Amino acid sequence: MTPSHAIRHVRITPIAFRDPPLLNAAGIHEPWALRAVIEIETASGLVGINETYGDLPMLQALAKAAPALQGLSPWALNEMESRVAALVTPPVQAPSEFLTQQVSLAPGTHVSKTVAKVVSAFEVAMLDLQGQLAQAPVVDLLGGAARDRVPYSAYLFFKPAEHIDRPYAPDPWGEALTPDQLVAQAQRMIDQYGFQSIKLKAGALPPEQEAAGMLALARAFPGTPLRIDPNANWSVATSLKIVEQLHGLLEYYEDPAPGLDGMAAVARACDVPLATNMVVTDFAEFRRNTELGCPVRIVLSDHHYWGGLRATQRLSTLCRTFDLGLSMHSNSHLGISLTAMTHLCASVPQLTYACDTHYPWQDDEVVSGGRLKLEHGSLRVPTAPGLGVTLDRDALARLHDNYLRCGIRHRDDLGQMRKYDPSFTGIQPRF
Amino acid sequence: MTPSHAIRHVRITPIAFRDPPLLNAAGIHEPWALRAVIEIETASGLVGINETYGDLPMLQALAKAAPALQGLSPWALNEMESRVAALVTPPVQAPSEFLTQQVSLAPGTHVSKTVAKVVSAFEVAMLDLQGQLAQAPVVDLLGGAARDRVPYSAYLFFKPAEHIDRPYAPDPWGEALTPDQLVAQAQRMIDQYGFQSIKLKAGALPPEQEAAGMLALARAFPGTPLRIDPNANWSVATSLKIVEQLHGLLEYYEDPAPGLDGMAAVARACDVPLATNMVVTDFAEFRRNTELGCPVRIVLSDHHYWGGLRATQRLSTLCRTFDLGLSMHSNSHLGISLTAMTHLCASVPQLTYACDTHYPWQDDEVVSGGRLKLEHGSLRVPTAPGLGVTLDRDALARLHDNYLRCGIRHRDDLGQMRKYDPSFTGIQPRF
């Protein structure tokens, strides 16, 4: 490393993009989803990029940690990690009700994950720089491609036709509240992207209706692997009743009941493997799962909160050691995150399930060349140096303007849901 | 990666170098230690190097696997791993008595580790190539240095003054069979290398004599961390009796009794943390240790049989997850192995114990510039691209001639010991 490749600038740009009114256990998506775009620039003028959470506590943590990168080599990931850890603890405070909701729905927004999240945000951008320096794609820095394309699954949501606040024209997906509408949504998504497995975000409508939707999907797409994710919004009894109705249909059963103890209770009475992105969200929880005899059999990782691409690779070794499966969780995101996931998943041989992605639900993009193209539900692993995607600066400016104008600073599916149903409490399990 | 960096040649050169008559649980070192030097050359003429085991089964496995590298990118570690796994299973057969001995003494020579050993042998040489391509030291490819020098410990052995076969002039270390001789050995080694911790290879003399040696070391080097490694040659009762005599002296207690169950029995009655390089030697055994509530608290890794530098980094994450310590085991080796260990250990923040090394017991070298220089017991992490060491081709030729002439093709401490004591059985635990 010549000194001229030392890191000189870090830029953090919050952005917002349109997000449809997707229903989930915690409420409903707001009209704008937040992300942050990271740019790390070397003295020599190279720029490494990344995409991460864009809520206010995360932006504050990123700002607090950014000075740690000053003067660092893009290779110095261990040093970055220890500097970040020293700077961003203790965690930023946030209102407790907000926290309770977000822990259960999206561990990525929980403050206990702040160090891992900031480390991940910087790590991917530094890997992008490393790849540019080494003239190698990020996947090569991670051990090379075990596959040349990474499969994703069709991620279905129940939803009304449009946002209650009507901030912009309705999305093209239309209403999905009945089994027929759900099948139509799946068909549209599969026609457009070629997905070869289907996941339904559940925990939003009464469980019997959601089960009817799954049965309709099984009839319409025979042989296609199916998954359902009630986001811990079902009691153990409901979880067991519904899995009985879906007998023989599920590839895995994602987070039916709350807590590792709830999951363990379901596991004792159910032969479908349980998956989670809610109760095994860090290495300490991984250990607790093993101590309970591994009621959770498949970990849905997310490099954004597990501490980065290399941390997720290490998680894959823990999973293999304890005979657990591994796949990937997703939040609303754009193409940088999708590309980082693709490099990562290509580098993990035992990642044998199609990964989750919200990508079809977004219609905007921040990378040059616009929306990434999935073929047969898969994204080809880029072979250009680094991540292999660069920023479209006009798009970045536009999405940043969205952020400034939209007024959203925390993800708040619960508050948004109360606009539709003032009596909605978000207390889980609801069913 | 331009195609010209594809791998074109693999050369495997068995070497032998002088090794003193070091006593251990399985017998005594033969006059020559075997290693193999790996060279991987790209079409563009770059050469990546490494050092590994040189016994015949290993050489056969390396030869069988070498064609897998043909045409591969030096970045394609995952692909290399799957090709090697496909080529080198099922394991090469070896005489069963030989196996039994070697499993207990040195897991690195056990055939069950063949895939991991071959993968490691190639991985390090490919990382050396990657570093040359990226113009970065190997430690940077592993996440960057968490420390700029890696500490090693003084590794003491009981020994006669010279080999029974008198193949060459006696080594300068002299006899070490009494506490006073042991203290003199330690003093000489510390004067020469600056080590700041001491490990005694035990399990060779009657336990009371070895304990007396430890007590003499504690008196002679107050405050210096001490470890003892009877290599599973003590019963549980003996293990407990001796640790009682060494109360308050030990940093950790390495492999006193045989088997994970034996170690668990010791752990239940002893408050010194147990370390191992014998019962947690792969990820499956790591899991078994956790299932028993982690009687072993410190894993002594060895990248040569754990599957490489990256596998050992992953092991470090497992250790952190289960609150275990981590340090490194060693066999007789030269400077390439020491350099690879140094890059690895520099990249693992939680590696907080000084590592084992046999390096002081060798007087030869295969790297350019001759013997590596330890300062205050530590080796500075190289900053040149790749491993930062290159082959001395004259030395390589000479050491290969040693190999051809010495006649040793398997490590056989037991057979060698029978020359001294025909009644020696090697059955463990002996005491």
Report ipTM for this prediction.
Answer: 0.93
Please give the pLDDT value at position B2.
52
State the amino acid at position A69 in one-letter form. Answer: L
CB contact under 8 A, A78 and B145: yes
CB contact under 8 A, A286 and B311: no
Closest in B76, B143, B321 to A318, CB measured: B321
Opening angle at CA A426, ends A199 and A257, nearest 5: 50
Look up tokens 């080529």; give the residue.
B87
Look up tokens 């990382």; give the residue.
B127
* Cβ atoms A218, A249 nearer than 8 A: yes
Chain A contacts in chain B segment 336-365 (CB below 8 A) = 347, 349
Please give the pLDDT value at position B109.
61
**In whole angstroms, what is the distance from residue B168 CA to residue A76 CA?**
47
Q: What is the mean pLDDT of chain A?
A: 95
Distance from CA of A16 to the nearest CA of B (A): 32
Neighbours of B96 (CB within 10 A): 8
Distance from CA of A283 to the nearest CA of B (A): 6
Residue A109 pLDDT grade (very low, low, confident, very high; cuts 50, 70, 90): low
- Phi and psi dihedrals of B27, rounded to 5? 150, -120
Mean predicted confidence (pLDDT) in B100-121: 73
Please give the pLDDT value at position B106.
58
The 3-state DSSP class for residue A151 equals strand
The 3-state DSSP class for residue B175 equals coil
The 10s digit of each residue's pLDDT in B198-247 is: 999 999 999 999 999 999 999 999 999 999 999 999 999 999 999 999 99
Question: In the predicted model, is pLDDT for residue B91 greater than 70?
Answer: no
Interface A:B, Cβ pairs < 8 A: 102
CB contact under 8 A, A75 and B136: yes
The 10s digit of each residue's pLDDT in B263-281 is: 999 999 999 999 999 999 9
User: What does the buried/exposed string (b/e) look like for A275-314 if buried means 16 or more CB atoms within 10 Å of the residue's CB?
Assistant: bbbbbbbbbebbbebbeeebbbbbbbbbbbbbbbbbbbbb
Q: Does B424 touch chain A (CB under 8 A)?
A: no
Q: What is the mean pLDDT of chain B?
A: 95
Residue A376, Ramachandran bin (φ over 0: left; ψ between -120 and 50: alpha; else beta): left
Question: In the predicted model, is pLDDT for residue B102 greater than 90?
Answer: no
Closest residue of chain A to B292, computed from CA coordinates: A291
* Cβ atoms B160, B85 nearer than 8 A: no
User: Which DSSP category does A354 fall into?
Assistant: P
Active-site annotation holds for B333: no
- Show residues of chain A in contact with B347, CB under 8 Å: 78
Please give the pLDDT value at position A53.
98
Neighbours of B12 (CB within 10 A): 18
**In whole angstroms, what is the distance from residue A354 CA to residue A378 CA?**
9
Bridge partners (DSSP) of residue A126 are: none
- Which one from A329, A333, A343, A358 is the annotated catalytic residue? A329
Please give the pLDDT value at position A106.
58
CB contact under 8 A, B283 and A82: no
| Helix pair B56-65, B114-134: axis angle to 10 deg | 60
Distance from CA of A82 to the nearest CA of B (A): 9
Please give the pLDDT value at position A107.
64
CA-nearest of B252, B179, B255 to B217 is B179
Q: Does B311 touch chain A (CB under 8 A)?
A: yes
CA-nearest of A128, A131, A163 to A31 is A163
Q: Does B313 touch chain A (CB under 8 A)?
A: yes
The 10s digit of each residue's pLDDT in B299-329 is: 999 999 999 999 999 999 999 999 999 999 9
Please give the pLDDT value at position B421.
97
Q: Does A130 touch chain B (CB under 8 A)?
A: yes
- Phi and psi dihedrals of B400, rounded to 5? -70, -40
Count, residues in chain B: 431
The 3-state DSSP class for residue A229 equals strand
CB contact under 8 A, B135 and A1: yes
Please give the pLDDT value at position B105.
53
* Cβ atoms A35, A333 nearer than 8 A: yes
Q: Which of A98-102, A254-258, A292-296, B57-61 has the lowest mean pLDDT?
A: A98-102
State the pairing for strand pair B296-301/B32-42: unpaired
Residue A103 pLDDT grade (very low, low, confident, very high; cuts 50, 70, 90): very low
Q: Does B75 touch chain A (CB under 8 A)?
A: yes
Closest in B77, B136, B317 to A144, CB measured: B77
CB contact under 8 A, B144 and A73: yes
Please give the pLDDT value at position A338.
98
CB contact under 8 A, B145 and A76: yes
- Show residues of chain B in contact with A318, CB under 8 Å: 317-318, 321
Question: In the predicted model, is pLDDT for residue B94 greater than 70?
Answer: no
Residues of chain A by 3-state class (helix, strand, coil), percent to 5: 40, 20, 40
Look up tokens 């063949």; give the residue.
B114
CA-nearest of A105, A96, A16, A91 to A60 is A91
CB contact under 8 A, B146 and A82: yes
Q: Is the peptide bond before A90 cis (omega within 30 degrees of 0)?
A: yes
Q: Does B287 touch chain A (CB under 8 A)?
A: yes
Question: In the predicted model, is pLDDT for residue B96 greater than 90?
Answer: no
- Show residues of chain A in contact with B144, CB under 8 Å: 73, 75-80
Question: In the predicted model, is pLDDT for residue A2 greater than 70?
Answer: no
Active-site annotation holds for A29: no
Distance from CA of B317 to the nearest CA of A (A): 7
CB contact under 8 A, B78 and A146: yes
Question: In the predicted model, is pLDDT for residue A102 greater than 80?
Answer: no
Residue A292 pLDDT grade (very low, low, confident, very high; cuts 50, 70, 90): very high
CA atoms within 13 A on the CB side of A340: 29
Closest residue of chain A to B347, computed from CA coordinates: A78
Please give the pLDDT value at position A112.
80
Cα–Cα separations (whole angstroms), residue A291 to A255, A311, B260 = 19, 21, 19
Distance from CA of A146 to the nearest CA of B (A): 6
The 10s digit of each residue's pLDDT in B55-83 is: 999 999 999 999 999 999 999 999 999 99
- Which one from A201, A304, A343, A358 is the annotated catalytic residue? A201
User: What does the buried/exposed string (b/e) look like for A372-383 if buried means 16 or more CB atoms within 10 Å of the residue's CB?
Assistant: bebeebbbebbe
The 3-state DSSP class for residue B157 equals strand
Judged on CB neighbours under 10 Å (0-12, 13-18, 19+), B127 is buried
Please give the pLDDT value at position A4.
86
Question: In the predicted model, is pLDDT for residue B294 greater than 80?
Answer: yes
CB contact under 8 A, B317 and A322: no
**In whole angstroms, what is the distance from residue A247 CA to residue A28 CA?**
29
**In whole angstroms, what is the distance from residue A400 CA to residue A392 CA?**
12
Distance from CA of B275 to the nearest CA of A (A): 20
The 10s digit of each residue's pLDDT in A312-344 is: 999 999 999 999 999 999 999 999 999 999 999
Question: What ranges make up the beta strands (E) of A137-294?
Answer: 149-151, 154-157, 198-201, 226-229, 250-254, 274-276
The 10s digit of each residue's pLDDT in A120-151 is: 999 999 999 999 999 999 999 999 999 999 99
Mean predicted confidence (pLDDT) in A377-405: 98
CB contact under 8 A, A1 and B136: yes
Q: Domains plus CATH for chain A? A: 3-139+394-405 (3.30.390.10), 143-387 (3.20.20.120)
* Cβ atoms B305, B284 nearer than 8 A: no
State the pairing for strand pair B32-42/B7-18: antiparallel
CA-nearest of B422, B293, B349 to B142 is B349
The 10s digit of each residue's pLDDT in B379-414 is: 999 999 999 999 999 999 999 999 999 999 999 999
Residue A352 pLDDT grade (very low, low, confident, very high; cuts 50, 70, 90): confident
Please give the pLDDT value at position B89.
74
